C-alpha cells in the first residue's frame, strides 16, 4: 500500500515516465438543447452565485495540454466537477475546479496541502485505500482571480445522492459495513497520517467506481446526446450535469470512500479558533471554543450514524427562529443525552470574557434520552446500539472511544466473518451485496414513523438501494 501512495505522491506535479500524449478527440457536433437565458441553471440557482467566481470551463477544451473535458459531473457553492480524459495516460479522471470566492483559496489550498502530506505517509494501513486519491493539481486564472484545480480519482456518487434515490434509512448490516469502512479510513488518518478530517457527512462519502466502462459510456453519451446548456456569451456556457449509468450486472457499486479534505487539519491538537464541523455534527469542545483533536471526528461519526439509521438528526432543534445556530439549545439537548457538562467546560467559558457562554440564557432541557429517541430496535440489539453510540457521545474528548477502539467493539461481532471484504485486494463482493447477505440474519423490528430526512420511513435493503 505504501508504494501505491508513494507513486501517487510523486505524480502530483511531476510525471517521471509519462507516455507520449494521445491526441485530443473531436467531440460531437450534434445539436443540443439550448436552455432559456431567463431560467437559472445549476450553479445559477445558488443563493450567492456570481458568474465571475466560476471559471468558464467548456466541454471539449483541453487544460494543461493534457486534460480534455468530456462532460459535467456536478456543481456546488465552492467548485464544479468535470469528467476529463488524460491525453497522456488515456485514462478518465475528475477535474474539480474551485471558485474564486475569497474563502475558497484557503480551503482548496488546505486540501492540496493535506493530499501532499498524505502522499508522504509510508503505510500499509488498509484504511489508506478508503481515501480518495489526488493525481495532479494546477491553477487557472479567471476574470476574478485564481482557481485551484484538482485532478482526482473518479467516483460514482455520494451517499447523499444514493439516499436521495432511495430515501430510506440503512438497515443494521448496511450501517455496520459503512461505519466499519469509515472507521478504517479515520484510524489511518488519526494514527498514521496525523490528520483530522472535521467534515464527515454524507456528501463527503462517495462510492468507488468499480465498473470502469461507466466512464467511457459517460463520454460516449455526452458525444452522442450533448447535455442541455445555456450560452451566456462567447466565453461562458452553463451546462446541465450528467449522471453515470448504473454498473453492469456483474459489477458492484463499490466501497464508501472518504473525500473532501478542504476543512481537514494536520496535527494531534488544534487551538480554538474558527469553528469547524457542520452545526448538527459539532462536538461540544468546538462549541465551547476549547482546544480540540481527532475526538471531534468520533463525535461527528456518532451523529452521522444516527442520521443514516434513524433518518433524522440527533441534534435537530438547535436553531433559532431566524435559522441561526443557537448554542444554548444545542447545549440543552447535549445535557438531556449526557447529563451536565463537567467542570472543564464551565471553566473554559468563564475564562473567555467575550465568549457567548458568559451570557445568561435559558434553554429548556428536553425530557429525552438516546433510548427514548431510538425506535427501530428492541431488546439486546437496542441496548448494544445505544452502548456503542454512547461510547462516542461523551463530554470529554479523552473519554470517547478512538477509531481504533471502535473497530474492535463487539457491536461488529456479527460481521467479523466478512472482514475480508474490507481488504481492497480481495473485495470481490460489493459493499451492498455483503450487507444483503448479512441482512438475511438480521431481525429488523419495524416501527414506521414519519422521518425528518426521508419521505418513506420503511427499511432499506441492500438490493433496494438502487432498485
d(CA 446, CA 457): 9
Residue 208, SS3? strand
Phi, psi of 226 (to 5 degrees): -55, 145
d(CA 145, CA 379): 59
d(CA 28, CA 366): 60
d(CA 353, CA 258): 38
Tell me the three cell numbers of residue 246.
448504473
Tell me the three cell numbers of residue 304.
452521522
Nearest by Cα to 135 from 254, 4, 253? 4
Q: Which helix (H) or strand (E) holds 152?
A: strand 145-152
In sequence order, the 6+-apart residues with CB closer than 8 A to the CB of 153 are 93, 94, 132, 133, 134, 135, 257
Q: 131 has which bridge partners?
A: 258
Residue-wise over 89-126: b if at least 16 C-beta within 10 A, else e? beebbbbbbbbbbeebbebbebbbebbebbbebebebb
Sign of torsion over alpha carbons 28, 30, 33, 36: positive
d(CA 303, CA 309): 10
Of 86, 136, 187, 199, the catalytic one is 199
Nearest by Cα to 43 from 82, 83, 90? 82
Residue 199 annotated in active site = yes
393: exposed, middle or buried (Cβ count in 10 Å: 0-12, 13-18, 19+) = buried
Catalytically annotated residues: 199
Amino acid at each position: 500500500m505504501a508504494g501505491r501512495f508513494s507513486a501517487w505522491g510523486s505524480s502530483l506535479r511531476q510525471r517521471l515516465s509519462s507516455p507520449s500524449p494521445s491526441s485530443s478527440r473531436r467531440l460531437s457536433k450534434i445539436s443540443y438543447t439550448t436552455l432559456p437565458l431567463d431560467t437559472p441553471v445549476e450553479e445559477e440557482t445558488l443563493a450567492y452565485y456570481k458568474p465571475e467566481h466560476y471559471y468558464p470551463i467548456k466541454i471539449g477544451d483541453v487544460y494543461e495540454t493534457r486534460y480534455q473535458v468530456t462532460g459535467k459531473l456536478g456543481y456546488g457553492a465552492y467548485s464544479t466537477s468535470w469528467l476529463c480524459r488524460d491525453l497522456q495516460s488515456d485514462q478518465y479522471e475528475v477535474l474539480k475546479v474551485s471558485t474564486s470566492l475569497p474563502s475558497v483559496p484557503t480551503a482548496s489550498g488546505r486540501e492540496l496541502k493535506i493530499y501532499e502530506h498524505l502522499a508522504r505517509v509510508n503505510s500499509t494501513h488498509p484504511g489508506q485505500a478508503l481515501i480518495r486519491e489526488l493525481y495532479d493539481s494546477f491553477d487557472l486564472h479567471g476574470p476574478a482571480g485564481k482557481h485551484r484545480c484538482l485532478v482526482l480519482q473518479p467516483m460514482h456518487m455520494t451517499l447523499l445522492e444514493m439516499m436521495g434515490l432511495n430515501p430510506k434509512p440503512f438497515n443494521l448490516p448496511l450501517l455496520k459495513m459503512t461505519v466499519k469502512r469509515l472507521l478504517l479510513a479515520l484510524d489511518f488518518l488519526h494514527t498514521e497520517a496525523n490528520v483530522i478530517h472535521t467534515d464527515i457527512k454524507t456528501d463527503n462519502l462517495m462510492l468507488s467506481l468499480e465498473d470502469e466502462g461507466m466512464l467511457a459510456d459517460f463520454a460516449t453519451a455526452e458525444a452522442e446526446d450533448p447535455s442541455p446548456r445555456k450560452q451566456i456569451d462567447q466565453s461562458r456556457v452553463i451546462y446541465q450535469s450528467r449522471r453515470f449509468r448504473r454498473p453492469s450486472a456483474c459489477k458492484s457499486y463499490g466501497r464508501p470512500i472518504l473525500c473532501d479534505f478542504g476543512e481537514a487539519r494536520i496535527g494531534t491538537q488544534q487551538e480554538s479558533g474558527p469553528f469547524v464541523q457542520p452545526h448538527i455534527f459539532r462536538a461540544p469542545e468546538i462549541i465551547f471554543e476549547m482546544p480540540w483533536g481527532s475526538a471531534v471526528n468520533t463525535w461527528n461519526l456518532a451523529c452521522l450514524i444516527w442520521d443514516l439509521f434513524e433518518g433524522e438528526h440527533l441534534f435537530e432543534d438547535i436553531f433559532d427562529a431566524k435559522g441561526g445556530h443557537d448554542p444554548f439549545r444545542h447545549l440543552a439537548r447535549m445535557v438531556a443525552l449526557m447529563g451536565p457538562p463537567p467542570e472543564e467546560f464551565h471553566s473554559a467559558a468563564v475564562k473567555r470574557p467575550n465568549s457567548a457562554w458568559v451570557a445568561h440564557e435559558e434553554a429548556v432541557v428536553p425530557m429525552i434520552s438516546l433510548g427514548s429517541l431510538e425506535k427501530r430496535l428492541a431488546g439486546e440489539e437496542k441496548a448494544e446500539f445505544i452502548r456503542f453510540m454512547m461510547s462516542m457521545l461523551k463530554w470529554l474528548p479523552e473519554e470517547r472511544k478512538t477509531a481504533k477502539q471502535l473497530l474492535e467493539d463487539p457491536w461488529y461481532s456479527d460481521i467479523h466473518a466478512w472482514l475480508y471484504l474490507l481488504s481492497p485486494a480481495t473485495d470481490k463482493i460489493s459493499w451492498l451485496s455483503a450487507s444483503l447477505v448479512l441482512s438475511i440474519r438480521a431481525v429488523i423490528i419495524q416501527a414506521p414513523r414519519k422521518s425528518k430526512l426521508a419521505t418513506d420511513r420503511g427499511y432499506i435493503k441492500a438490493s433496494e438501494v438502487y432498485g
